[in-house]
Amino acid sequence: MYMHPQGFYLGVVNHYKVKKTQHHSVEIFDLTSNSYDTIAHQQIFIKREITDFHSLIWEPNHHHLAIHSNSKREAEAGK
């Protein structure tokens, strides 16, 4: 679990297996809502074969994030 520096978002990294293949996804919960009944939620599926998942990094004063991991294949610039 990774918390945004100002507490706006919570990021949860999921590791799961489907037919002996490991997959990863990141779930983002928006904690800025004043309502306690519902929390906005978004799920990002990582469609690469990842060998090591290091961390989820938030930009301190904005709403951007980066996923730091090692992939089995090299990615070309812009893809």
> What digits encode the pLDDT tens for the residues 36-51?
777 888 888 877 777 6
Specify the number of domains making up the chain: 1
Whole-number Å distance between alpha carbons of 50 and 69: 7
Domain-embedded: residue 61: yes
Q: What residues make up the domain containing 29?
A: 2-71
Domain-embedded: residue 27: yes
H helix intervals, 7-60: none
Domain-embedded: residue 77: no
Give the distance between the most distant pair of CA atoms in the chain. 43
Domain-embedded: residue 6: yes
Structure tokens belonging to residue 41? 């939620």
Whole-number Å distance between alpha carbons of 30 and 6: 12
Residue 57: the pLDDT is 81
Q: Give the CA-trace dihedral at 61, 47, 13, 8, to 10 degrees.
A: 20
pTM of the model: 0.70
Residue 76: the pLDDT is 67
Residues of the chain predicted below pLDDT 70: 51, 71-79
Residue 74: the pLDDT is 64
Residue 73: the pLDDT is 65
Domain-embedded: residue 55: yes
